[in-house]
Amino acid sequence: MNRETLANTVILAALAGIPVLAHLGGEPFVITLATRIAILGLAGVGLNLALGHGGLVSFGHAAFFGVGGYAMGVLASHAQAWTPLATWPVEIPGTNLMPVIWLTAILAAGLLSLVIAALSLRTRGVYFIMITLAFAQMAYYFAISWPAYGGEDGLSIYVRNRFPGLNTLDPIQFFAVCFTLLCLTLALMSRITGSRFGLLLQATRQNPARVEALGVQTYRIRLFAFVLSAMVTGLAGALYADLNRFVSPSMMSWQMSGELIVIVILGGVGRALGPVAGAGLYVLLENQLGGISDHWQIFLGAVLLWVVLFARGGVLGMLCDRRSADG
C-alpha cells in the first residue's frame, strides 16, 4: 500500500467514522459539518476532473452547482405547492423524490455545461478562465433577475426531500445518502481516469499537439470531460440545496466558484481524494477560524497564499510522495 492509498483510506474512514461517533454521542452539528464536507468534496471531485485531469481551469463551476441547487428548488417548490411545473404539452408535476431530483440536476447541469463548454473551449489559458467566469456570472444575474423562483431572495423548502425507505430529516441518514453518492462517484472517477478516455484527457493536458497527431480530436475529449465534470458538480449542488433546504443565487456567485477551486487545490490537484481532503480542511478552517474572529477570512486568505506560494501540491501533496501522483 503506497502512502497515497493509505492517506485515501484514512480520509474516507474518518469521514465515515466521525459522523457515526457524533451520532452515538448526540452531536448533530458535527454530522451536519461532515455532510457539508461530503457534499463540497463531491462538487470538488467533479471540478477536479476538468481542472486537475484536463487542465481546464474553470472559474465558473458555481453555475453548475447552482443549477443543481435550483433543480432541487424548482421541483420541490412545485411539489410543496401542489402546482404543476408545466402544463403543456404534457402536465409535469413537481416532485420531492431525491433520485428524480438528482437526475434532473445532473441533466440540467450537463445541458448548460454543454453550451458553455462548446463556446469556451474555443479558447485557451487565461481567456478560458475569464470566459467561464463570465458565463457563470450570466447564470447568476439571470437567477437574480428572474422573479418566478424567488429572484434575489432565493427559494426555501420546508421539508427535506424524500428518499424511499429512509428518513432524510435524520442527520445521520442524510449523511449516509451523501456519503454513498460520494463513494459511488469516486469509484466511477477512478474507472474513468484509468480508461482510454481518462488517459487521453491526461495526454491532452500535457501535450495536445501529440494527441492530435495520433488522430484524436482533443476538442471532443475536453468537451466530454467538462460536461461530465459539470454533471457531478450539479449533483452536489442538488444535495447542498437539500442540506440547507434553501437555494439562492449566491450558490452561483463567483465566490462559490473560487471556493470550489480552493477546495480542489487545498487538497491536491488531480488526486482522487484531493477534493475531499480539501473540503474537510476548508470546512474545518471556516469553523475553527470563524470561532476565533469575525474576520476569519483574513486568516483563510493567508493560509491559501501560503499553500500556493510554499506548499504546492496541497495537503495530499505534502503527505504523500510527490512522484506517485505525477503519472
Partner 1 sequence: MPVSLVIEQALNGLQFGVMIFLMAAGLTLIFGVMGLINLAHGSFFMTGAFACAATAAATGSFLLGLAASLAAAAAAGALVEVAVIRRLYARDHLDQVLATFALILIFSEGTRWLFGSFPLYLDVPQALARGVMLPGGIQYPLYRLVVIVVGLCVASGLWLLIHRTRLGMRIRAGESDREMIAALGVNIAGLYTAVFAIGAALAGLAGALVGALQSVQVGMGEPVLILAFVVIVIGGIGSIRGALIGSILVGLTDTLGRFLLPSAFGLFLDPSAATAFGSALASMLIYILMAVVLIFRPNGLFGVA
Q: Is 131 in the site for partner 1 (CB under 8 A)?
A: yes
Pairwise CA distance, residues 99 & 73, whole Å? 14
Contact positions with partner 1 (CB under 8 A) in 37-96: 51, 57, 59
Q: Which position among 2, 5, 123, 217 is part of the footprint of partner 1 (CB under 8 A)?
A: 123
**Residue 42 · residue 264 · CB < 8 Å:** no
Q: Is 125 in the site for partner 1 (CB under 8 A)?
A: yes
Stretch that binds partner 1, among 118-126, 161-169, 174-182, 278-286 (CB under 8 A): 118-126
Q: Is 2 in the site for partner 1 (CB under 8 A)?
A: no
Q: Is 322 in the site for partner 1 (CB under 8 A)?
A: no
Q: Is 134 in the site for partner 1 (CB under 8 A)?
A: yes
Residues that bind partner 1 (rule: CB under 8 A) add up to a total of 43
Beta strand segments in 48-146, E: 84-86, 92-93
Work out how close the CB of 300 gets to partner 1 at its nearest, in angstroms, rounded to a whole number. 6
Q: Is 144 in the site for partner 1 (CB under 8 A)?
A: yes
* Cis before 89 (ω within 30): yes
Q: Is 126 in the site for partner 1 (CB under 8 A)?
A: yes
Q: Is 157 in the site for partner 1 (CB under 8 A)?
A: no
For residue 273, give the H/E element and its range.
none
Planar angle of CA 153, 263, 192, nearest 5 degrees: 110
**Residue 149 · residue 155 · CB < 8 Å:** yes
Instruction: Annotate each residue in 232-271 with x if it binds partner 1 (CB under 8 A) or - if it does not, as one string.
Output: ----------------------x---x--xx--x---x--
Strands 84-86 and 92-93 come out as: antiparallel
Work out how close the CB of 129 gets to partner 1 at its nearest, in angstroms, rounded to a whole number. 6
Q: Is 285 in the site for partner 1 (CB under 8 A)?
A: no
* Cα–Cα distances in angstroms (integers) from residue 197 to residues 112, 190, 194, 216, 227, in the given order: 22, 12, 8, 11, 14
| Residue 271 grid coordinates | 488526486
Amino acid type, 132: T
For residue 148, give the H/E element and its range.
none
Closer residue to partner 1, CB minimum distance, 30 or 57: 57
Work out how close the CB of 261 gets to partner 1 at its nearest, in angstroms, rounded to a whole number. 6
Pairwise CA distance, residues 190 & 187, whole Å? 5
Q: Is 29 in the site for partner 1 (CB under 8 A)?
A: no
Strands 246-247 and 155-156 come out as: antiparallel
Binding site for partner 1 (CB under 8 A): 51, 57, 59, 119, 122-123, 125-127, 129-131, 133-135, 137-138, 141-142, 144-148, 254, 258, 261-262, 265, 269, 295-298, 300-302, 304-305, 307-309, 312
